[in-house]
Amino acid sequence: MRKLQSHAFSDKALTAQEPILQDYIRQFVAGLKKEAKTANNKVPLGKWYNYTTFDLIGDLAFGESFDCVSSGKLHPWIQTIFEIFEINSWVIEARNYPIIGKFVYFMLPRELLKKFPTHKEMAREKATRRMNRVTDRPDFMSYIMKNNDTEKGMSTPEIRENASLLILAGSETVSSSSPY
């Protein structure tokens, strides 16, 4: 899978995305200025980094933003991702200790455990929407879909399943280092 997606991250592909990155940097700075005026110059940078990172990765991966920077609010999917980040370490550790892990898993709030399938479904929907949209602007999906359903590429179900990885991998580093 990694090899099939690698051409989306080539120097040429990423250089073509530079205008999009510059646009989000401008939006980020404008959002900071606007918030600084209304919040007595106290701006939660972590929040704005997250808005920008998720908007950018949404646009780079699927050709559409989550509109966090423009709205000044987290998209519901991103809120779900943060909730998954909170519980994911517990789930991973529970798997390492089968006896204690069953107890830990049992104690986790069911509402949080439901976030995992919710995230996967949102990713599948986003990927399906992007695969059905024709655009001349390249994004990660345009490279991934180039050989879609051939022996050189991924199948449509594989693309849908891997969509969640594009969002998580593209945004997790910044979001986990600057909690909301």
**CB-based contacts of 137, cutoff 8 Å, min separation 6:** 63
What is the distance between the alpha carbons of residues 90 and 96, in angstroms, rounded to a whole number? 10
Q: What is the mean pLDDT of the chain?
A: 82
Q: Is residue 68's pLDDT more than 90?
A: yes
Return the SS3 of 148: coil
Q: Could you give the C-alpha distances from 168 to 32, 37, 151, 165, in angstroms and in order?
A: 24, 32, 26, 5
Each residue's pLDDT tens digit, 142-179: 888 876 666 777 888 888 888 888 877 766 554 544 44
- pLDDT of res. 178: 46
**CB-based contacts of 29, cutoff 8 Å, min separation 6:** none
Each residue's pLDDT tens digit, 97-106: 888 877 877 7
Each residue's pLDDT tens digit, 14-43: 888 899 999 999 999 999 998 888 877 788
Structural domains in the chain, CATH included, are 2-177 (1.10.630.10)
Mean pLDDT of 46-69: 91
Q: Is residue 140's pLDDT more than 90?
A: no
The pTM for the full model equals: 0.78
More confidently predicted of 107 and 47: 47
Q: Is residue 9's pLDDT more than 80?
A: no
- pLDDT of res. 111: 82
Helices 45-62 & 115-132 angle (0-180, nearest 10): 50
- pLDDT of res. 150: 66
